[in-house]
Amino acid sequence: MPPLVETWQYGDPGRPYVPEPPQHAAHQAYDAKELLYGGAAGGGKTEFLIAAAVFLALRIPGSASIIFRRTFPDLKRTIIPRMLAKIPKTVATYHHTDHTWTFKNGSTIELAYLRKETDVLNYQGAEYQLIIFDELTQFTEFQFDYMATRARAAGAVLALMQAAGVSSRIIGTTNPGGPGHHWVKARFVDPAPWGATFTVPPTKDQPKPRTRRFIPAKLADNPHMDPSYEDTLDAIPDPDLRRALRDGDWDVLQGVRFKQWRRALHVVDAGMIDLPLVDYPRIVAVDWGIDAPWCALWMGLLPDGLVYVYRELYQAGLTSEEQCRAILAAEAEGERAEGRPLPLIMDPAMWARQHTSGSEKPLDPDTPPPGSVAATYRRFFGPSMRKANNSRIDGWAAIDELLRVRRDGLPRLLVSELCPNLIRTLPALPRSTKRPEDVDTDAEDHAPDALRYGVMELAGGGKRRVTTTVTRRAAPPVTGSLASTAF
Ligand SMILES: Nc1ncnc2c1ncn2[C@@H]1O[C@H](COP(=O)(O)OP(=O)(O)OP(=O)(O)O)[C@@H](O)[C@H]1O
Ligand SMILES: [Mg+2]
């Protein structure tokens, strides 16, 4: 095979693009119709794919390439400014309206996004010699498979490609993680030794499977990256996601979600935190259930950003009224009183109407519609209740951050031994097989869901943080005293 154009002057003769060895291998891997170049964050994936598209455009006059990101803001943040900075106007022009580069030799590079799964159908009948998905795990396998059928050449372009020793191909670049982690891993990472081109046995759906290859990208492969970037990756609180992104490890995003949980660190004796809890912002976080258990967790935000879960109720089969009575019965005298707010942060599903009464939608989103579970709660608790921020991935990430042990040797989440179901189910919760940053929603997740609602409110940037009118006493940092007494 004749050598490819491997240096591209980017418009800045002082800093030409010279591929690092794995990028070089990926540029040359024409024996694979489908290529995945993936792994660690910052490994040089986006740099490679832009160069791959530009090489083909320069090399094969009249050729067409397309680069996908999942959303337009993604393109706007990454690909578009980088291409504008690197491709001189003397080589190609960028048309903002249709996001297309037109090269002087007639080649084009389109930039596109696929918001809905079926948006690929817009490409019916299209023909590209190079199709690229940046951050492939953000896409579905259907989208990838559909577009793969569009990777082909004909006529003069095909003749030029044959003469140059290159062929049409589809390239994905990605980090592990994301909603498509499992299909991408199963398709590219698991079947064969890394770096080798392979084919899988034909099936009814795919009688002629295309050749595939996975080239791993590591941060260490990219000497151009700012060395402090590794520190940024080291600060990711979920240890498995950290390994996945820092080391390009595809295997760690399996098994349980909260591996950093340690009973000896995160569980404390009921009497250990000897503080007047009413002085601190407190909430009751509620996950709804009738047939499945319902869970209420009492939580306080103590100095040093320490979240303390101090009581739990966990039971199936209670009506809404019985749940409210159980909450009130569990509380100590004076725990909830005038001037001592103890708001309920509740599963947004509790606002769903059970019996529609045809009344108008309340103006305040926290006002429960008549007939809803929340309306029953309101009879008991008045207006001091609100919908939890239900952003799942952010909520789990906030729990990761609290579980992390800080320099003082302590985490920022402590659970009283009086919460046996949270202590039992949080460490057992499996990762989702659909989206590794999430948990498996078929698992027993009621106490962790309640914890997530509470944590988002107290520490994770819930829509509205708890505001209290209580005067806080000047208290010594809790973690300081715990460090000497507890551990
Ligand atoms: N061969 C190279 N020559 C010069 N600079 C490079 C090269 N490869 C990568 N870089 C630079 O290294 C940095 C990281 O590269 P890039 O953005 O391509 O990594 P990435 O793997 O796409 O990262 P992410 O995982 O964050 O998407 C960028 O500033 C890029 O310009
Ligand atoms: Mg990138």
Can you tell me the mean pLDDT for 183-210? Answer: 90
Q: Which residue's structure tokens are 């039992």? A: 424
pLDDT one-digit tens code per residue, 291-339: 899 999 999 999 999 999 999 999 999 999 999 999 999 999 888 988 7
Q: How many Cα atoms are found within 13 Å in the side-chain-facing hemisphere of 476?
A: 7
Q: How far apart are CA 218 and CA 311, in angstroms?
A: 45
Distance 257 CA to ligand 1 centre (A): 30
Of all ligands present, the nearest one to the C-alpha of 45 is: 1
pLDDT one-digit tens code per residue, 80-125: 999 998 888 888 999 999 999 999 999 999 999 998 999 999 999 9
pLDDT the model gives residue 450? 98
The closest alpha carbon to 263, from 82, 94, 49, 414, belongs to 414
- Which sequence spans correspond to the domains of the chain? 21-247, 263-485
Among 160-174, 347-361, 413-427, 434-448, name the one with the lowest average pLDDT.
Answer: 347-361
Among 48-62, 221-235, 423-437, 450-464, name the one with the lowest average pLDDT.
Answer: 450-464
Identify each DSSP E strand in 184-292 by its residue range. Answer: 197-198, 212-217, 267-268, 282-287
Q: How far apart are CA 466 and CA 445, in angstroms?
A: 24
Residue 93 is inside which H or E element, if any? strand 92-95
Per-residue confidence at 478, pLDDT binned at 50, 70, 90?
low
Angle (nearest 5°) at CA 287 between 281 and 288: 135
Best mutation site among 36, 46, 134 for ligand 1 pocket (most ligand atoms within 8 Å of CB): 46
Distance 423 CA to ligand 2 centre (A): 38
Distance 274 CA to ligand 2 centre (A): 49
Distance 44 CA to ligand 1 centre (A): 3
DSSP letter at 186? I
Distance 285 CA to ligand 2 centre (A): 38
Say which residue, 448 or 275, is predicted with more confidence: 448
What pTM was estimated for this model as a whole?
0.78
Residues with CB under 6 A from ligand 1: 17-20, 23, 41-47, 175, 217, 222, 224-225
Q: Do domains 21-247 and 263-485 have the same CATH topology?
A: no
State yes or no: pLDDT of 230 exceeds 90. Answer: no
CA nearest ligand 1 atom 23, residue: 42
pLDDT the model gives residue 1? 38
The closest alpha carbon to 219, from 70, 363, 401, 38, belongs to 38
Per-residue confidence at 7, pLDDT binned at 50, 70, 90?
very low
Q: Is 436 exposed, middle or buried (0-12, 13-18, 19+ CB in 10 A)?
A: buried
Can you tell me the mean pLDDT for 147-165? Answer: 96
CA nearest ligand 1 atom 16, residue: 44
Q: CA 231 → CA 76, 234, 395, distances in Å?
A: 26, 5, 23
Q: What is the CA radius of gyration of the chain?
A: 28
State what percent of residues in the chain have pLDDT above 90.
66
Q: Which residues of 344-376 are buried (b: 16+ CB within 10 A; e: fewer)?
A: bbbbeebbebeeeeeeeeeeeeeebbeebbbbb
User: What single letter denotes the amino acid at residue 309?
Assistant: V
Of all ligands present, the nearest one to the C-alpha of 38 is: 1
Q: How far apart are CA 51 and CA 39, in angstroms?
A: 18
Per-residue confidence at 340, pLDDT binned at 50, 70, 90?
confident
User: What single letter denotes the amino acid at residue 45?
Assistant: K
User: What single letter denotes the amino acid at residue 108?
Assistant: T
Domain 263-485 has CATH 3.30.420.280: yes
pLDDT the model gives residue 471? 38
CA 6 to mean position of chain CA atoms: 34
Domain 21-247 has CATH 3.40.50.1700: no
Q: How far apart are CA 282 and CA 227, in angstroms?
A: 41
User: What single letter denotes the amino acid at residue 90?
Assistant: T
pLDDT the model gives residue 479? 52
pLDDT the model gives residue 129? 98
pLDDT the model gives residue 5? 42
